Structure 1
Amino acid sequence: MGCGSSTANVPSAAPVSTNPDDYFPYTGKDVWYTCKADVALELRCAKQGVASLDGCPPTTLPKLLKKAAEKDGSLPALKAERPCPALMGNGPAPPALPDDQWKTWTWKQYYDDVRKAAKGFLKLGLQPFESVAIWGFNSPEWMLTTIAAGMAGGKSAGLYPTDSPDTAAFKVVHSGASIVIIEDKTKLDRLIPALSDRQYAGKVKTFVAYGYEPSANETVEYRGSKVPVISWAALLEMGSSGSDQELDARCEALQPGHCAALVYTSGTTGEPKAVMISHDNVIFESTSVIGIGAEHMGFCKGGASLAERHERILSYLPLSHIAGLMVDIAFPIAATASSPAYVTTYFARPYDLKAGSLKDRLCVARPTAFLGVPLVWEKVADKLRTLGANNPGWKKSLAAWAKDKGVRRARGQQLGGDGAQPGGYGLANKVVLSKVKGLLGLDKVKFGITGAAPIRVDTLEYFGSLGLQINEVYGMSESTAAVTVSTTRVHQWGSCGFQLPGMEVKAFKVDSDDINKRTECPRAPQLDSTDESFQGELCFRGRSIMMGYLAQPELGLEHVAEIEKKTAGTIDKDGWLHSGDKGIVCESGMVKVTGRYKEIIIGAGGENIAPVPIEDHIKASCDGINEVIMIGDKQKYNVALVTLKAVGANGETPGTDKLDAGALRVNPAVKTITEALDDSVWIDQVKLAIEKANDNPKVCHNNAFKIQKFMILPTNFSEEQGFLTPTKKMKRPVVEKAFGKQIEMMYSSKETYVRYQE
């Protein structure tokens, strides 16, 4: 499992094992999934390595939590600001509470409260394999519920805080939830009518509120009867007198191959599918990442003192997403139970992303690992660039000198680099770079991570110039998050890393009518190889691959047949999970995503055009551009919709008309999007950025790839409008349909820039 090295101990190849004993053999049958929630799926254990029985002993999350509590029971596990200071109007967020004023759960209290909640669920009638649905923002109660549901023999089903009532009702019903945990009364008031409108309204027995105190004996009308609404405190009180013997029996009956959680795909079309994630899936995934983190970055490696053993994370991305489940819930339990470290999870405020106040929580938590979706990293970069632009001349010169040292060092640290540290870097880091990271609350980060969507290389380079290595990971809900990982020791900008130990990642040419017919693509000689022969569908297999999509029998035979068909169309007879992503695997072992098959634009001449690299090049060339959506499927040429950076455009909401960050520097005389629509400087700058992409043969391989016309939109895309998923992926079909008239205007016009009209 060794890797080559260059002159300065920077590896020249990724640490990818070629020993077949490190991987599960996938022989003896041709169905490697289930669509039933009451099945314990066979574990995919290898003969040796991290995927073996010794490398990752099979267990369940409740048992692992007990082990963590026995090991580090007196140390802090969860910390939240209680009560959370309210955000008043459009004013700034109230200052963060000092660390010692945050409400704290030790690991023992965490475990004890899980037992109380689980016994409460039993008293409320939770049956084996039923679900406990959760609708609300990240909180200790969210995490307690997830583990308690499993301890009581069931599973959790997370809803996104931003789900519409109809979507939330679908998930409650589809998951088979008999208990629903809700954050606030508004969600309850919106959920009940949506449930009542469904032909099959599910079987909810109780609603439990953790964000407000229900009135005494509160009930709601549901399915012709009154269903109780109780508080979280009442649930724990109920559990305090529950049967330990009954709970232990349920917990003992739980197997590693049973479903631990339903993760609903955010999806860009249709109703979401429920990915069944087993206890073994999440524990293996955590174990593999912990091992890489310790070996490559000293993360979870421990030390002689409590301070050296202490790892910290900040929970702010939705816990209903696979990344939230893994990074915030499963990983801290696995790391505390099975590594020399212990982990404390801090919770962000519900409004932090919207109010731009996440930094306040970071500065208290000082995380040692931080996961940001690309939008978060890009917003941080925007703020830093704006601050830098407002500095006096001498500070700008000092910062430019320091960042030059930083980026030169970062380039040399990449896979195959010389590893050289330029003269003066130590001083630059001490005087400038470390202070910038400290202001962000990221000065203690050992493992900076990005995932869930593609990130621009210029963003990685920018943070590299600050001395902060952002490691790209790649995976999906169906693979229990990451199947590839980049590390400080092994990374390459533009790559999403190398396969995790115990997992296999390959690129295949797959028959369009039968996923079982496939041919492995040859390894690409380098990361920027563009030959189609190297590119294929990225497929994964191993111990973290999902159980399957859940089919809910109560929704009828047609639904069950549809879900079974979708699962069979995702996991083939040899156990390969088909991602739908196009990419390459390099000779060095590094993996690169080159596009998504559903997003590929088929040109008039039959060319396969991946829009994302072209869009990213345009955004990197003009700091005022927020998004670019390239359109041209089956058209004679390509056009683009462009949005500009604006105040409040955070992905959740479209923001205002006021320009923000780099957009204010394109033409300082223009302050709004409305003005920019008719401003010659703005129009020329966007046109120039598009021309730069058109002229770059690495992204535009021939004329069919070029963008011929563009339109600047008067607003940004957002989740609120339905244009983005909860993980901020673009719903391209929705965007194209919503702006169909404007797209037609571009194709009908003779101008390069077509002015927006409703």
Structure 2
Amino acid sequence: MGCGPSQARVLSQAPISSNPDEFFPYQGSGPWHTSRADSVMQPRLAKSGPASSEDCPPVTLQELLKKAAEEKGDKLALKVERPCPSLGSDGGAPPAFPDEEWKAWTYREYYDESRQAARGFMKLGFEAFDTLAIWGFNTPEWLLSALAAGFAGGKVGGLYPTDTPETAAFKIVHSGASVVVIEDKAKLERLIPALAQRGEATTRIKAFVAYGFEPEAQQSVEVKGSAKPVLSWSQLMTMGKEAKDSVTESSADPLELRLKAVEPGHCAVLVYTSGTTGEPKAVMLSHDCMVFETRTVLNLARAHMGLCAQAEQERVLSYLPLSHVAGAMVDICFPFVATATTPAWVTIYCARPYDLKVGSLGDRLRIARPTIFLGVPLVWEKVADKLRAIGAANSGLKKKLGNWAKSKGLKNSKARLMGGDGAAPFAYGLANKVILSKVKAKLGLDCVKFGATGAAPIRVDTLQYFGSLGITINEVYGMSESCAACTVSTDQAHLWGSCGFQLPGVEVKAFKVDPADISKKEECPRAPSMDDLGEEYQGELCFRGRSIMMGYLGQPDLGADHVREIERKTAETIDTEGWLHSGDKGMITKHGMVKITGRYKELIIGAGGENIAPVPIEDHIKACCDGVNEVMMIGDKRKYNVALITLKAVGANGETPGTDQLDAGARRINPNVSKISEALRDDVWIQEVTAAVKSANENGKVCPNNAFKIQKFMILPTNFSEEQGFLTPTKKLKRPIVENAFKKQIDMMYSSSETYVRYED
């Protein structure tokens, strides 16, 4: 296994081009979007540079998978533990399989089986421009199906494994899915009644294919009064083989005819937004925007960190939802694009479905030893919690050595921030060899060349903690609508608290936008530094370029009013100059680094009209009290701010709220208190949280005046989770829903004279 990042020099400013020829000119007034699934969005090519046809020729995903198979067909592409062991009677995960016992697919098999599955889908009635919906956890069959949809002339629309049956039914109908690939029997049983509520719009569905269970012989389910077959994966593949065998030399191959008609500007993937309000919208991503995005990030990572620079295996652990844009880019697109265009080859290791829930992801990490690892903030913070708890339990010489090594690691990481001298402190090599490298090996992160975080804001203290271990977490920022990252930081250009610099070939700017017309805007001046937070520097972050979405999908099956509404929402997102409006408030420094300061929809408008960004205040409280899990400020159009606070609990993983048992750092606040229900009335706990709130209130950077301060708070008896509808699948807080759910408790705080208000049902 190839391990370890290359040692990169540190830049003094972001590597951003000012050459206009390296950006698409956007001449005319557009429109620069479409809501039709069968439209072609011509590649937005620059004259030169990364976005040009010379550096990144327009091509389909399927063409690149073919190239990977032709050039490195014997290299491993996919790996999974089969059969996946069930959880033990104690709820724990059985030991990981040794690497050599994982079931594997080569790139030749990946290519051949994707095409075979495509023939099977076509036999079931999958037409050109149709959508293949997939509902389940990450497996090779998920990936094979996703590529098969393109081979069959259509697109893939993934569903989150945690979607409710009602949400899944909406996405299946809205996407225009003709075939539904489904993981387990329970999902199918819950889906059918939900589809029944969708009426005539379900008539497109031709069949269901199961990859996680074996359907009964000749099984079918009724959808809108019609029986739809339920096939096993092996039956689908047999059907595909028979279809291939029926092709003769004298007859045209239906698969090749379909594939020949697919253009780089056609839609390849639908990504449903996990927005905090309203029904999800389907982002249409073309083959070209996905390939450009992947190659551009890959080229940066190759130049700055040595990823894919050598003829060796690179590895990814697939555990984030493949239905999310990050999963689609890192787990689906990146491996074969990198394998086709660099000396390296990339192998995907699939995690077990329960790894995040039961905390056994580390078992897979230690087998896969990924060289690229993307974690949402919750994942990084959970790992940090465990490590801090272990460190706090140490004593004597072991504790002193650990603290010494981490202090060296932190100094080294600070020296490697942008503008630093990059010089390792005295004895850092020894600290890394004796202690830090062993910690990284135990985590399974000792081979990481490109560690990254995205999808939600991450706390600076988390970045600093991993920096003390010698692990650089690079922030990426973007949206589904921008095909994932539009900014990225690398080991050469990295600053804690910044989400990086604009991708080559992509424009990112901060604008003061006219509230009545998004096309009327004025660019904000660049801030002198990250700490200069004057309002004149801050505006809405907007981006444009080759990686921007085609538009939101309008589904004609849902009526003309629906299509017009989606077209309106698309036009409210992409203006007449092609700028995609993010809704995020931020700024760009003179050195080219982007900083997010808030989200416009989340801003609290104080009694005096102040625009209050809650996240920096909330993060400060969490950093000050290791027992706090989540903080949510409330105060919009109210006389002052209050906060709902949750504590770290066993089993609280974002999907479920967890138990009443305190976990990790929360256990150290008061060793005599082991439950949340006890902490609610414990003086030590109340004092600790009060002190953290007071610290935020007294910090001039996050609370520049009294309007920003939190006057009262309440500790909730449970954590926020997807299960309750309080978090999105990417673990963003659905603030309006939380505020509505706890309206009674919020009113209690505003009517109380106490700083800490005890929770009551």
User: 1:130·1:178 contact (CA, 8 Å) conserved in 2?
Assistant: yes
Query: Partner letter of residue 299 of structure 2?
Result: G
* CA distance in 1 between partners of 2:429 and 2:634 (Å): 47
* CA distance in 2 between partners of 1:57 and 1:241 (Å): 35
Residue matched to 2:149:
149
Shift in Å at residue 417 of structure 1?
Answer: 1.3
Query: Partner letter of residue 242 of structure 1?
Result: A
Q: How does 1:77-92 map to 2 (within 5 A)?
A: 77-92=77-92
Residue matched to 1:647:
650
* CA distance in 2 between partners of 1:714 and 1:693 (Å): 23
Q: How does 1:210-225 map to 2 (within 5 A)?
A: 210-225=211-226
* CA distance in 2 between partners of 1:420 and 1:752 (Å): 47
* CA distance in 2 between partners of 1:217 and 1:428 (Å): 63
User: 1:200·1:555 contact (CA, 8 Å) conserved in 2?
Assistant: no
- Pairing partner for 1:270 from 273, 278, 283: 278
Residue matched to 1:246:
254
Residue matched to 1:656:
659
Shift in Å at residue 42 of structure 1?
Answer: 1.5
* CA distance in 2 between partners of 1:212 and 1:11 (Å): 52
Query: Partner letter of residue 215 of structure 2?
Result: P
* CA distance in 2 between partners of 1:386 and 1:400 (Å): 13
Q: What does the per-residue CA deviation read over 1:220-239, in whole Å, with 9 as the maximum and x for residues that have no partner?
A: 11111211000011111100
* CA distance in 2 between partners of 1:113 and 1:185 (Å): 24
Residue matched to 1:534:
537
Query: Partner letter of residue 80 of structure 1?
Result: V
Secondary structure of 2:283 counterpart: strand
Residue matched to 2:671:
668
Shift in Å at residue 91 of structure 1?
Answer: 2.8
Residue matched to 2:397:
394
User: 2:201·2:558 contact (CA, 8 Å) conserved in 1?
Assistant: no
Shift in Å at residue 428 of structure 1?
Answer: 0.2
Residue matched to 1:3:
none
* CA distance in 1 between partners of 2:108 and 2:194 (Å): 39
Residue matched to 2:333:
330
Shift in Å at residue 528 of structure 1?
Answer: 1.4
Shift in Å at residue 162 of structure 1?
Answer: 0.5
Query: Partner letter of residue 147 of structure 1?
Result: L
Residue matched to 1:5:
none
User: 2:64·2:337 contact (CA, 8 Å) conserved in 1?
Assistant: yes
Residue matched to 2:296:
288
Q: What does the per-residue CA deviation read over 1:545-572, in whole Å, with 9 as the maximum and x for residues that have no partner?
A: 0000000011011101100000000000
User: 2:184·2:212 contact (CA, 8 Å) conserved in 1?
Assistant: yes
Distance 1:738 1:425, change over 3 A: same
Tell whether 2:186 aligns with 1:186.
yes
- Pairing partner for 1:591 from 590, 594, 614: 594
- Pairing partner for 2:622 from 612, 619, 623: 619
Q: How does 1:419-458 map to 2 (within 5 A)?
A: 419-458=422-461
User: 2:201·2:557 contact (CA, 8 Å) conserved in 1?
Assistant: no
Residue matched to 1:259:
267
Query: Partner letter of residue 630 of structure 1?
Result: M
Secondary structure of 2:695 counterpart: helix
Residue matched to 1:206:
207
* CA distance in 1 between partners of 2:718 and 2:91 (Å): 22
Q: What does the per-residue CA deviation read over 1:275-297, in whole Å, with 9 as the maximum and x for residues that have no partner?
A: 00100011000000110001000
* CA distance in 2 between partners of 1:471 and 1:564 (Å): 35
Shift in Å at residue 9 of structure 1?
Answer: 4.8
* CA distance in 1 between partners of 2:231 and 2:677 (Å): 49
Query: Partner letter of residue 68 of structure 1?
Result: A
- Pairing partner for 1:721 from 724, 732, 738: 724
TM (norm. structure 1) is 0.98
Residue matched to 2:5:
none
Secondary structure of 1:241 counterpart: helix
User: 1:61·1:279 contact (CA, 8 Å) conserved in 2?
Assistant: yes
* CA distance in 2 between partners of 1:383 and 1:479 (Å): 34
Residue matched to 1:403:
406
* CA distance in 2 between partners of 1:501 and 1:170 (Å): 37
User: 1:220·1:227 contact (CA, 8 Å) conserved in 2?
Assistant: yes
Residue matched to 1:109:
109
Query: Partner letter of residue 661 of structure 1?
Result: A
Query: Partner letter of residue 21 of structure 2?
Result: D
Q: What does the per-residue CA deviation read over 1:426-459, in whole Å, with 9 as the maximum and x for residues that have no partner?
A: 0000010000000000000000000000000000
Q: How does 1:383-532 map to 2 (within 5 A)?
A: 383-532=386-535
Secondary structure of 2:254 counterpart: helix
TM (norm. structure 2) is 0.97
Shift in Å at residue 94 of structure 1?
Answer: 0.1
User: 1:201·1:223 contact (CA, 8 Å) conserved in 2?
Assistant: no
Residue matched to 1:306:
none
* CA distance in 2 between partners of 1:459 and 1:409 (Å): 16
Q: What does the per-residue CA deviation read over 1:675-698, in whole Å, with 9 as the maximum and x for residues that have no partner?
A: 100111100100100111111111
Shift in Å at residue 89 of structure 1?
Answer: 4.1
Query: Partner letter of residue 191 of structure 2?
Result: L
User: 1:173·1:200 contact (CA, 8 Å) conserved in 2?
Assistant: no
Q: Which runs of 4+ in 1 moved over 6 A?
A: none
* CA distance in 2 between partners of 1:559 and 1:697 (Å): 47
User: 2:200·2:224 contact (CA, 8 Å) conserved in 1?
Assistant: no
Secondary structure of 1:517 counterpart: strand
Residue matched to 2:350:
347
Secondary structure of 1:66 counterpart: helix
Tell whether 2:610 aligns with 1:607.
yes
Shift in Å at residue 315 of structure 1?
Answer: 0.2
User: 2:117·2:148 contact (CA, 8 Å) conserved in 1?
Assistant: yes
* CA distance in 2 between partners of 1:10 and 1:174 (Å): 47
Tell whether 2:732 aligns with 1:710.
no
Secondary structure of 1:432 counterpart: helix
* CA distance in 2 between partners of 1:480 and 1:184 (Å): 29
User: 1:506·1:538 contact (CA, 8 Å) conserved in 2?
Assistant: yes
User: 2:487·2:500 contact (CA, 8 Å) conserved in 1?
Assistant: yes
Residue matched to 1:235:
236
Residue matched to 2:55:
55
User: 1:195·1:201 contact (CA, 8 Å) conserved in 2?
Assistant: no
Shift in Å at residue 420 of structure 1?
Answer: 2.3
Query: Partner letter of residue 692 of structure 1?
Result: S
* CA distance in 2 between partners of 1:414 and 1:284 (Å): 28
Residue matched to 1:554:
557
Query: Partner letter of residue 210 of structure 1?
Result: Y
Structure 1 stretch 643-652 or stretch 389-398: which is displaced more? 389-398
* CA distance in 2 between partners of 1:426 and 1:19 (Å): 41
Shift in Å at residue 201 of structure 1?
Answer: 3.5
* CA distance in 2 between partners of 1:257 and 1:501 (Å): 20
Query: Partner letter of residue 255 of structure 1?
Result: E
Residue-pair matches, total: 746
Alignment root-mean-square deviation, CA: 0.9
Sequence identity percentage: 68
* CA distance in 2 between partners of 1:363 and 1:404 (Å): 25
Residue matched to 2:317:
314
Q: What does the per-residue CA deviation read over 1:476-495, in whole Å, with 9 as the maximum and x for residues that have no partner?
A: 00000000001111100000
* CA distance in 2 between partners of 1:90 and 1:285 (Å): 44
Secondary structure of 1:187 counterpart: helix
User: 2:9·2:492 contact (CA, 8 Å) conserved in 1?
Assistant: no
Q: What does the per-residue CA deviation read over 1:12-41, in whole Å, with 9 as the maximum and x for residues that have no partner?
A: 100000000110000034200000000111
Q: What does the per-residue CA deviation read over 1:116-153, in whole Å, with 9 as the maximum and x for residues that have no partner?
A: 00111111111110111000001111111111101100
Secondary structure of 1:419 counterpart: coil
* CA distance in 2 between partners of 1:139 and 1:10 (Å): 38
Shift in Å at residue 88 of structure 1?
Answer: 2.6
Shift in Å at residue 530 of structure 1?
Answer: 1.1
Shift in Å at residue 590 of structure 1?
Answer: 0.3
* CA distance in 1 between partners of 2:267 and 2:10 (Å): 41
Q: How does 1:122-137 map to 2 (within 5 A)?
A: 122-137=122-137
Secondary structure of 2:631 counterpart: strand
Residue matched to 1:566:
569
* CA distance in 2 between partners of 1:519 and 1:507 (Å): 8
